[in-house]
């Protein structure tokens, strides 16, 4: 079977769940081959976990410059891997960094590019949500090596243990004049909650939360469920919650197993970022809110009465267990 290249998304110490999702998707097309871009020693730390999830090959693209420049080392590594493996496709995670790398790689290879895919079949046809979530389409690359960016959460990760062969890619020196150098790093807000695009449960608040203090009920329900906290653009623009937690067309796209929307009306901008969630629960005082047209379960009521009851119910069930 042909190789299918998968760009490994990581923080230097841990592989993100989205990478395991890509490996599962890659097995539909051929033998997954993971491409690790990082400083020396990174690939060695990840090889075992990547092999456990089906990577038959691990390409180590390591250099001291890998963490000093935006995108360029990643694109260089993927291009080298494509030249070496002649893969059936290249899969990346449809994050901001992933989409940039995918676009630049497709331009270098003169190849077709499909982004924000939510499914992939064995023939290479992808399902996409387009035009702000208004349409679902099926697309296929017909020119060159397909470069495909899959939305986090679109495919369930599966363990598929194999023996991985490590291969080395010699990264070229980066031309500083043609690349963006990282001059400083700032640690974002962190805590015990999972990242938005890693979480299996997301609880989001909207304008109906009423203010920053109102997000306490959102956080309490998310913590009870072991999930992440999200926010609509309206809530973020109003200063209720930090921008990094925005879910939507201009924020992050998520596809958790459970998405709970509290006080979110359901503007197209927001739906575009969460409508592929497996189960959607909405709580809103307005029975005509558009979110109810998408929700699997809807509650017409005051979120400040409903959400605490949900939190108490979840806590009680956990205590019984």
CATH of the domain at 83: 3.40.50.620
Q: Is 138 within any annotated ligand binding site?
A: no
Q: Is 246 within any annotated ligand binding site?
A: yes
| pLDDT reported for residue 131 | 78
Kindly state whether residues 65 and 213 are assigned to the same domain: no
| pLDDT reported for residue 32 | 98
Q: Domains in the chain: how many in total?
A: 2
Q: Is 266 within any annotated ligand binding site?
A: yes
Residue 273 in domain: yes
Q: Is 206 within any annotated ligand binding site?
A: no
User: Rounded to an integer, what distance in angstroms lies between the CA atom of residue 76 and that of residue 38?
Assistant: 12
Residue 210 in domain: yes
Q: Is 63 within any annotated ligand binding site?
A: no
Q: Is 243 within any annotated ligand binding site?
A: no
Kindly state whether residues 151 and 235 are assigned to the same domain: no
Segment holding 119, helix H or strand E: strand 113-120
For 319, how many CA atoms within 13 A lie in the half-sphere containing its CB? 6
Per-residue pLDDT tens listing for the chain (321 residues): 899 999 999 999 999 999 999 999 999 999 999 999 999 999 999 999 999 999 999 999 999 888 888 899 999 999 999 999 999 999 999 988 999 999 999 999 999 999 989 999 999 999 998 876 778 899 999 999 999 999 988 898 999 999 999 999 999 988 888 888 888 877 666 567 888 888 999 999 999 999 999 999 999 999 999 999 999 999 999 999 999 999 998 888 888 999 999 999 999 889 988 988 999 999 999 999 999 999 999 999 999 999 999 999 999 888 776
Kindly state whether residues 171 and 200 are assigned to the same domain: no
Q: Is 257 within any annotated ligand binding site?
A: no
Kindly state whether residues 204 and 147 are assigned to the same domain: no
Segment holding 50, helix H or strand E: helix 42-52
φ, ψ at 314 (rounded to 5°): -65, -45
Q: Is 188 within any annotated ligand binding site?
A: no
Kindly state whether residues 174 and 260 are assigned to the same domain: no
Q: Is 249 within any annotated ligand binding site?
A: yes
Q: Is 263 within any annotated ligand binding site?
A: yes
Q: Is 309 within any annotated ligand binding site?
A: no
Q: Is 264 within any annotated ligand binding site?
A: yes
Cα separations (Å) of 217 from 30, 230, 265, 283?
Answer: 45, 12, 17, 13
Domain limits at 261? Answer: 196-320
φ, ψ at 15 (rounded to 5°): -85, 135
| pLDDT reported for residue 1 | 83
The whole-model pTM stands at 0.86
Residue 187 in domain: no
Q: Is 268 within any annotated ligand binding site?
A: yes
């Amino acid at each position: 079977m042909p190789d299918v290249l998968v760009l490994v998304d990581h923080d230097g110490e841990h592989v993100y769940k989205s990478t395991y999702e890509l490996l599962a998707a890659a097995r539909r097309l051929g033998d997954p081959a993971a491409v690790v871009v990082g400083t020396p020693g990174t690939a060695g730390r990840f090889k075992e976990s990547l092999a456990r999830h089906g990577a038959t090959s691990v390409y180590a693209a390591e250099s001291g410059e890998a963490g000093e420049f935006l995108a360029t080392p990643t694109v260089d590594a993927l291009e080298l891997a494509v030249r070496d493996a002649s893969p059936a496709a290249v899969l990346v995670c449809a994050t901001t960094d992933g989409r940039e790398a995918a676009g630049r790689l497709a331009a270098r290879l003169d190849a077709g590019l499909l982004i924000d895919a939510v499914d992939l079949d064995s023939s290479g046809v992808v399902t996409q949500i387009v035009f702000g979530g208004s349409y679902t389409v099926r697309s296929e690359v017909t020119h060159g090596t397909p470069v495909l960016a899959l939305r986090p959460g679109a495919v369930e990760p599966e363990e598929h243990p194999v023996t991985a062969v490590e291969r080395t890619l010699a990264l070229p020196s980066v031309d500083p004049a043609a690349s963006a150098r990282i001059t400083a790093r700032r640690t974002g807000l962190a805590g015990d909650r999972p990242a938005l695009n890693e979480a299996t449960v997301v609880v989001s608040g909207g304008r109906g939360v009423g203010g920053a203090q109102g997000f306490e009920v959102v956080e309490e329900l998310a913590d009870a469920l072991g999930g992440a906290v999200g926010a609509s653009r309206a809530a973020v623009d109003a200063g209720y919650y930090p921008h990094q937690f925005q879910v939507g067309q201009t924020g992050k796209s998520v596809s958790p197993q459970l998405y709970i929307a509290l006080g979110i009306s359901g503007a197209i901008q927001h739906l575009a970022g969460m409508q592929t969630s497996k189960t959607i629960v909405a709580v809103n005082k307005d029975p005509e809110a558009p979110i109810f047209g998408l929700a699997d379960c809807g509650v017409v009521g005051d979120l400040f009465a409903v959400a605490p009851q949900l939190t108490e119910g979840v806590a009680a069930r956990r205590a019984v267990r």
